[in-house]
Amino acid sequence: MIHEWNKAYWSELASAAGRLPHALLIHGPDGIGKRALAEHFAQFLLCESSTNGRPCGRCQACRWFVAGSHPDVRWLEPESIAKPAAIEGEEEDRAGSRSAKQSLEIKVEQVRALADFLNVGSHRGGHRIALIHPAEGMNLHAANSLLKSLEEPPASAVFVLVSHRPARLLATIRSRCFALAMGLPERTAAEAWLQASGVADAARWLAFAGGAPLRALEYSSGPRGDTITRLLKALSDGSLQEVAAADREELELLAEVLQKLAFDRMFEAFGAEPKYATRGSHAVPAQARQWLAFARAMGHNRTLARHPLNPRLFATDMLASMPAKGRRE
């Protein structure tokens, strides 16, 4: 099911379905429901009894799709976020913990296998659909392999690309897609949805997620939310030794917390309102550039944190590079 705040985008897609080219690029911030919209669109194209611009949910094709077993659909995703066979409709659902051995990229072998799938006739006499998420997860070889299929698409093939960062896609891939840009939902609607989903302090979590409600729901739930709260409190209290003790599984989250805290201090130093509700001591104007540089460094560290040689040393190094007056010694 698509989310309430994305119904306008669905109306645009459904009304243009018969005129769309063979490739669709749905892009926008992470955590707003792009994946759910892409799945709904794929189900709509495959539905054998669609009415009122929606999949019926009752025909054989819809039942297969919801069960994740439709023979004319393939998902391309990195191993680290690939979902089980059943399609659950949540774009940002992370299936289990990421293993160090699981790839963070979409590999060329996956795209080549997709070409074999698309060049076989449809089982139901309709479309054959490839959903690629996140599209920027393709490495260069995979992207070039997909480009060949986009340049000479098989008959009845439809490519649906979902991207959080479309600028990272090859320009030649973007040029061959009909692009649907999605934005963040209106804040009050997102907060109301979070509250209805049982999220306490919805405004705070929505701010920390940058306005993306599905990310906010993920952040607020279970051990992940507890870790974020604990790290922010320790940073606010100046308990850096406690923060430095973060284990290997928490390092990437620590880098993200530090990056968002840095952005908030930078905004405050420039006289603006903080964006991520990290709270804590205010930064002085002279520190604005220092906090910006620190935020950029933490963005880089969010990737490095996945495979640190020494977790404690890595965490200590991140904390040591914080602007000195923005923390208690």
Tens digits of per-residue pLDDT, 37-64? 999 999 999 999 987 889 999 999 999 9
Does 207 reside within a domain? no
Mean pLDDT over residues 14-43, rounded? 92
pLDDT, position 6: 95
The pLDDT of residue 92 is above 70: no
Does some domain include residue 208? Answer: no
Same domain, yes or no: 174 and 230:
no
The answer to whether the beta carbons of residues 195 and 166 sit under 8 Å apart is no
Determine the pLDDT at residue 86. Answer: 36
- CB atoms < 10 A from the CB of 163, how many? 24
Q: In the listed set 181, 206, 231, which residue is the last one of a domain according to the structure?
A: 181
Q: What is the pLDDT of residue 31?
A: 96
- Mean of the pLDDT values across residues 24-48? 96
Q: Are residues 235 and 314 in the same domain?
A: yes
Give the Cα separation of 251 and 328 in Å (integer): 21
The answer, yes or no, to whether residue 100 has pLDDT greater than 70, is no
Domain end position, chosen among 118, 153, 181: 181
Burial of 57 per CB tally in 10 Å (0-12, 13-18, 19+): middle
Residues 148 and 99 grouped into a single domain: yes
Residue 325: pLDDT band by 50, 70, 90 thresholds? low
**What was the pLDDT predicted at 180?**
96
In a domain, residue 201? The reply is no
116 and 233: one domain? no
Q: What is the mean pLDDT of residues 166-188?
A: 96
Q: What is the reported pLDDT for 1?
A: 77
One domain, residues 177 and 232: no
Is 188 a member of any domain?
A: no
| Contact residues for 191 (Cβ-Cβ < 8 A; gap 6+) | 202, 203, 206
Mean pLDDT (the chain, rounded): 89
Crossing angle (nearest 10°) for helices 288-304 and 251-269:
160
- Regarding whether 239 and 140 lie in a shared domain, the answer is no
Q: What is the DSSP string of 189-258?
A: HHHHHHHHTT-TTHHHHHHHTTT-HHHHHHHHSHHHHHHHHHHHHHHHHT-HHHHHT--GGGHHHHHHHH
Least confident range of 67-76, 90-99, 187-196, 271-280: 90-99
Q: Can you tell me the mean pLDDT for 300-312?
A: 88
Question: What is the number of structural domains in the chain?
Answer: 2
Residue 200 domain flag? no
Residues 202-216 have pLDDT tens digits of 999 999 999 999 999
In a domain, 174, yes or no: yes
Residue 31 · residue 214 · CB < 8 Å: yes
- Host H or E run for residue 39: helix 34-46
pLDDT at 96 over 50: no
- Mean of pLDDT values over 91-102: 48
Do 171 and 244 lie in one domain? The reply is no
The residue with greater pLDDT, 193 or 223, is 193
Label residue 93 by pLDDT band (50, 70, 90).
very low
Please check whether residues 169 and 237 belong to one and the same domain.
no
Least confident of 75-89, 97-111, 207-221: 75-89
Provide the pLDDT for residue 297.
97
Evaluate if residue 292 carries a pLDDT over 70. Answer: yes
Model pLDDT for residues 259-268, shown as the tens digit of each residue: 999 999 999 9
The residue type of 43 is Q
Q: Which domain holds residue 270?
A: 221-326
Weakest-pLDDT range from 21-25, 107-111, 221-225, 261-265: 221-225
Q: What is the pLDDT of residue 223?
A: 87
Question: What is the predicted pLDDT for the residue at 238?
Answer: 87
How much is the pLDDT for 29? 96
Which of 121, 152, 181 terminates a domain? The answer is 181
Q: What is the pLDDT of residues 228-259, one digit of tens each?
A: 999 999 998 889 888 998 888 899 999 999 99
Inside any domain, residue 38: yes
144 & 227 share domain: no
Q: Are residues 12 and 156 in the same domain?
A: yes
Asked whether residue 139 falls in the same domain as residue 286, the answer is no
Do 129 and 247 belong together in one domain? Answer: no
pLDDT at position 249 is 87
Span 88-115, average pLDDT: 67
Note the pLDDT of residue 7: 93
In this predicted structure, what is the pLDDT of residue 123? 80
Q: Mean pLDDT lowest for which of 114-123, 138-147, 171-180?
A: 114-123
Residue 74 CB burial class (10 angstroms; 0-12, 13-18, ≥19) = middle
